[in-house]
Amino acid sequence: MQIVMKHLLTGKSIHFQVALRCISTQSTRFSRLAEVGKLETPKIQGKYDTGQLFLHRVFGYRGVVLFPWLARVYDRDIPNTQAAPIKTEADPSAETPSGNVSKEVKGTTHTFYQVLIDSRDCPFIRAQTEAVTFLGNQDSSRSLYAIPGLDYVAHEDILPYSSGEKAPLHHELFDKFLTYQPERDPPFEAQDTLIAWQKKNHPWLELSDVHKETTEGVRVTVIPFYMGCRETPAASVYWWRYCIRLENLGELSVQLRERHWRIFSLSGTLETVRGRGVVGQEPVLSPRLPAFQYSSHVSLQAPSGHMWGTFRLEREDGHTFDCRIPPFSLESKPDDGGSVPPEENV
């Protein structure tokens, strides 16, 4: 039984309560709590530095910031007049033959972070902790590699804290990526291996677009990632990973029952996918545990396309409804052979 947290020693009371609730409610099996450090005041402006320890506001796990990404966020709940026009997104839900748009959605820039998750917390969080995958290029098979305990976190989900430990986070890459420097704040500095790893794998790690939409109090957030192209004798196959977070903003519990996807390829094909649940689960989103996050993959025989769909949800009062998955583009990038297996990269 892993002990997670007892008391945060400093910080405003509201932040203390949020952090303690997030950690302590992940599993009813927790029998006691252990101290992790001193809570700091979250930053309203500016960015967190490499080496910053934090608690995830929603999922409650301990983590450390590796480096930031500047993403474009397309939120369909915000009127266009309130957002700066960065680019126009196609809305394939119109299902026009060419996939052209019938609704204009504009974006705003927002900071996300590449982070490591403490391996001690992985069994207790409602999010996949082996979600970051990419295609290696060291052999002709272009095998799929997974990096465990890597996540992307929005700025507002960071609850920063400090610790007096030299190795406060348990992750196999922590000592390879960061070194303890007590005179710094935060006291962990990027090693050359982290800088080289970020530069080498930038095309496959980069977070560029985030899509959000809320239906009847359930918010869906989608982040797509291009993984690379695998050559076959018959055709080139382009792969993407997409991370989806569902969050219940209401007071009644809801359960995800079905998924319905529409996948449009630039080659002109339109595929429909239906199934029970997601990743073999039918998660319940309750006021106590409101969020669930997972990742999946999709491939096209074309360098671009887009996806959209719905989740069929059932409320505890028996009401069922379709929760919209915001349309998102699948765009490839130049394949410069940048990705390598993680064990050879660090």
Check which CATH number belongs to the domain holding 247 and give it.
2.60.40.1470
Quick check: 300 and 273 in contact, CB under 8 A?
no
Maximum alpha-carbon separation in the chain: 61
Residues 6+ apart with CB under 8 A from 48: 54, 65, 68, 113, 155, 158, 160
Residue 181: CB atoms within 10 Å: 12
Residue 176's domain comprises 37-78+107-206
CA distance 69 to 84: 19
For residue 186, cis peptide bond before it (omega within 30 degrees of 0):
yes
282-334 per-position pLDDT tens digit: 999 999 999 999 999 999 999 999 999 999 999 999 999 999 999 999 999 87
State residue 192's pLDDT score. 97
Same domain, 295 and 177: no
Establish if 26 belongs to a structural domain: no
Residues 6+ apart with CB under 8 A from 29: 1
State residue 84's pLDDT score. 44
Mean residue pLDDT of the chain comes to 80
CA distance 28 to 278: 24
177-187 per-position pLDDT tens digit: 999 999 999 99
CA distance 89 to 107: 9
* Confidence grade of residue 129 (pLDDT, cut at 50, 70, 90): low
Establish if 345 belongs to a structural domain: no
Report which residue type is found at 281.
Q
Same domain, 279 and 247: yes
Residue 234 above 70 pLDDT? Answer: yes
Establish if 246 belongs to a structural domain: yes
- Region of poorest pLDDT, from 11-25, 60-74, 224-238: 11-25
Q: Partners of 200 in the beta sheet?
A: none
Upper half-sphere CA count for residue 195 (Cβ side, 13 Å): 5
Report which residue type is found at 338.
G
* Confidence grade of residue 143 (pLDDT, cut at 50, 70, 90): low
Give how many domains the chain has, as a whole number. Answer: 2
End residue of a domain, out of 151, 185, 206: 206
CA distance 77 to 99: 22
Quick check: 257 and 313 in contact, CB under 8 A?
yes
Same domain, 136 and 171: yes
Tokens 């266009």 belong to which residue?
80
End residue of a domain, out of 163, 181, 206: 206
Establish if 146 belongs to a structural domain: yes
Establish if 234 belongs to a structural domain: yes
Same domain, 181 and 48: yes
Same domain, 248 and 289: yes
274-283 per-position pLDDT tens digit: 999 999 999 9
Upper half-sphere CA count for residue 243 (Cβ side, 13 Å): 21
State residue 145's pLDDT score. 67
Long-range contacts of 16-20 (CB under 8 A, 24+ apart): 18/57, 18/159, 19/55, 19/57, 19/60, 19/159, 19/161
Establish if 19 belongs to a structural domain: no
Same domain, 188 and 232: no
Establish if 95 belongs to a structural domain: no
Q: Sign of dihedral through CA atoms 139, 208, 238, 220?
A: positive
Establish if 92 belongs to a structural domain: no
Same domain, 54 and 196: yes
Residue 216 above 70 pLDDT? Answer: yes
Quick check: 115 and 151 in contact, CB under 8 A?
yes
Same domain, 118 and 149: yes
Same domain, 49 and 127: yes
- Region of poorest pLDDT, from 126-130, 231-235, 268-272: 126-130
* Confidence grade of residue 126 (pLDDT, cut at 50, 70, 90): confident
Residues 6+ apart with CB under 8 A from 329: 89, 90, 209, 224, 304, 305, 306
Residue 255 above 50 pLDDT? Answer: yes
| pTM (two decimals) | 0.80
Closest CA to 308 of 237, 205, 215: 215
CA distance 325 to 331: 18
Tokens 């007590």 belong to which residue?
182
Same domain, 232 and 191: no
Average pLDDT of the residues in 188-198: 95
Same domain, 263 and 298: yes
Specify the higher pLDDT residue, 145 or 159. 159
State residue 136's pLDDT score. 53
According to DSSP, residue 6 is labeled S
* Confidence grade of residue 130 (pLDDT, cut at 50, 70, 90): low
User: What is the full DSSP assignment across 247-277?
Assistant: EE-SSS-EEEEEEEEEEEETTS-EEEEEEES
Same domain, 317 and 182: no
End residue of a domain, out of 152, 186, 206: 206
Closest CA to 205 of 108, 292, 333: 333
Residue 56 above 90 pLDDT? Answer: yes
The DSSP bridge pattern shows strands 62-75 and 209-215 to be parallel
